Amino acid sequence: PNHHEERKEFFQELLEALDTHFTTSPPSHVLLGGDFNCVPDPLEDRIPAGRGDAFPPQLCQIIRKYDLVDAAQASPPLGPRFT
């Protein structure tokens, strides 16, 4: 989603879908990918710094609740990274 309110609604629905999946399905791994049009820290993750939207609270909640990581950020750096 490109607009703030749509993004907020999208991540709220995603959180509810993940909650449903993990409470009604056997344990499993989930790979979540996409272009969410936001970054964890606009000062660090954008060129020029500070432009763009930061992660909405709903996405931060999903990341914390399910202990998610950005695979590219978790691997050893080979230079500047953009995911």
Q: Using pLDDT thresholds of 50, 70 and 90, give the confidence band for residue 14.
A: very high
Task: Report angle CA 65, 59, 76 to the nearest 5 degrees.
Answer: 80
Amino acid at 41: D
Can you give the pLDDT at residue 17? 93
Q: Are 44 and 30 in contact (CB under 8 A)?
A: no
Position 64 pLDDT exceeds 60: yes
- Return the structure tokens found at 67: 């202990």
21: exposed, middle or buried (Cβ count in 10 Å: 0-12, 13-18, 19+): exposed
